[in-house]
Amino acid sequence: METDRSKKKDIVSFDYEELQSEMREIGEKPFRGKQIYSWLHEKLADDFSQMTNLSMPLREKLDRLYEIRKAELVTRQISKKDPTEKYLFKLFDGCMIESVLMKYDYGNSVCISSQAGCRMGCRFCASGIGGLVRNLTPSEMLGQIYRIQKLTGERVSNVVVMGTGEPLDNYDNFLKFVRMISDEHGLNIGQRSITASTCGIVPNMKRLAEENLQITLALSLHGSNQEKREKLMPVAGRYELSEVMEACDYYFEKTGRRPTFEYSLVKDVNDGEDDAKELILLLRGRNCHLNLIPVNPVKERDFQRPDRKNALAFKNKLEKNGINVTIRRERGSDIDGACGQLRRRYADAKKEK
């Protein structure tokens, strides 16, 4: 029943320590917390009845007090072009989120959403079109990885937080998620195999630098100067480019992790000679990696990608000037590859009904 349900606590969002204290609070031995944590985060149980080393009365008690919220699989699209799959999940309250699985030689990488919708409103992005619906809980971020690992039967070795949402706009939940997914008592995914992408929320980038993590921070740059950036990203109006770059330097200084800069190449907007020159000046001398992403045209937005030839010329110019740069290999273009597109299409289809 819906009413009973809302009173139950979201057990998957408790971290290892919290779950032990929680068990103490309900009159159980803390080691029960360890056992349950292992069921939830190592064995990926999705029902208390599966926890066979717990007594029946305890399983029933857990079921009364807590809930293992399941993300319901709505669609799974498997690309015919490359080993990429896109998932649309429905959360307990009806919110829709999407995740992407990309298989590489080195392992399986999952791109997760950190929010349902997004309030950053980047001009070329489909995720922000309907605004922010709500933040995702740690369990909902973990759940995307757990579900995909279970559905494929293959271990997830890398995580990128580059789906819908701005992780640093959902700071506490995001941080807890990182700690839990890399916890040795859970899936134990190395922090060096985790990348989080931000549009550049400066205070939280600095905070993150001080959390003692080993994750890679990717900054969505998209413009080589303040004015260009503001044209594409409203959030740039809140933080000067110089402050954003300083925050990246600070992250590197504190963590030793080389930042990645993402630059969506948009035809006639930021792909010219001058842009390349300015980008070189901005990045030269920085220990970083630049990832060029030919923009994914989104139906609601009027942006085009440059021709392959122009994108390559842009890349070569930077490379010749000592910038460590790659063009992101396109994946899943036949399955609504761009951020937020699958979710949008679903919302549109519902409207049309």
Q: Which residue among 23, 36, 199, 247 contacts ligand SAH (CB under 6 A)?
A: 199
Q: Which of 196, 231, 160, 232 is nearest to 205 (CA)?
A: 196
Q: How far is CA 153 from CA 148, 271, 325, in A?
A: 8, 41, 34
- Please state the separation of Cα 59 from the chain's center in Å: 33
Structure tokens at 278: 């300015």
Site for ligand SAH in 57-96 (CB under 6 A): none
CB of 168 to ligand SAH, least distance (A): 8
Chain positions 330 to 349 lying near ligand SAH, rule: CB under 6 A, are: 338-339
SS3 for 225?
Answer: coil
Which one of 22, 67, 85, 98 is the catalytic residue?
A: 98
- Looking at residue 334, its amino acid is D
CA end-to-end span of the chain: 28
Q: Do 267 and 304 meet the contact criterion of CB atoms below 8 Å apart? A: yes
The H-or-E segment that residue 346 falls in is: helix 341-352
Hey, how many other C-beta atoms are within 10 angstroms of the C-beta on 281?
11
Q: Is 296 an interacting residue with respect to ligand SAH (CB under 6 A)?
A: yes
Is 195 near ligand SAH (CB under 6 A)? no
Distance CA 179, CA 69 (A): 20
Closest by Cα among 101, 107, 38, 102 to 73: 101
Residue carrying structure tokens 């994914």: 296
Nearest distance in Å: CB 244, ligand SAH: 12
Q: Does 19 bind ligand SAH (CB under 6 A)?
A: no
Nearer to ligand SAH, 122 or 202 (CB): 122
Residues 235-294 that bind ligand SAH (CB under 6 A): 262, 264, 293
- 174: phi > 0 → left, psi -120 to 50 → alpha, else beta; which? alpha
Query: How big is the site for ligand SAH, counted in residues (CB under 6 A)?
Result: 18
According to DSSP, the residues that pair with 73 across neighbouring strands are 89
Least Å distance between CB 322 and ligand SAH? Answer: 23
Among 193, 195, 197, 204, binds ligand SAH (CB under 6 A): 197
Identify whether 227 is a catalytic site residue: no
Nearest to 263 by CA among 301, 318, 215, 208: 318
91/125 with CB nearer ligand SAH: 125
Shortest Å, Cβ 199 to ligand SAH: 3
Closest separation in Å from C-beta 197 to ligand SAH: 4
122-151: contacts with ligand SAH (CB under 6 A): 122, 124-125
Q: Is 295 in the site for ligand SAH (CB under 6 A)?
A: yes
**Of the candidates 163, 213, 182, 216, the residue with the CA atom closest to the CA atom of residue 337:** 163
Angle, to 10 degrees, between the axis of helix 273-283 and the axis of helix 308-320? 40
- Least distance (Å) from ligand SAH to the CB of residue 86? 14
Does position 198 interact with ligand SAH (CB under 6 A)? The reply is yes
Check if 67 is active-site: no
Selected range binding ligand SAH among 35-43, 174-182, 194-202, 273-281, rule: CB under 6 A:
194-202
Smallest gap from Cβ 234 to ligand SAH, in A, equals 11
The binder of ligand SAH chosen from 166, 271, 275, 336 (CB under 6 A):
166
Binding region for ligand SAH (CB under 6 A): 120, 122, 124-125, 162, 166, 197-199, 220, 262, 264, 293, 295-296, 298, 338-339
Catalytic residues: 98, 339
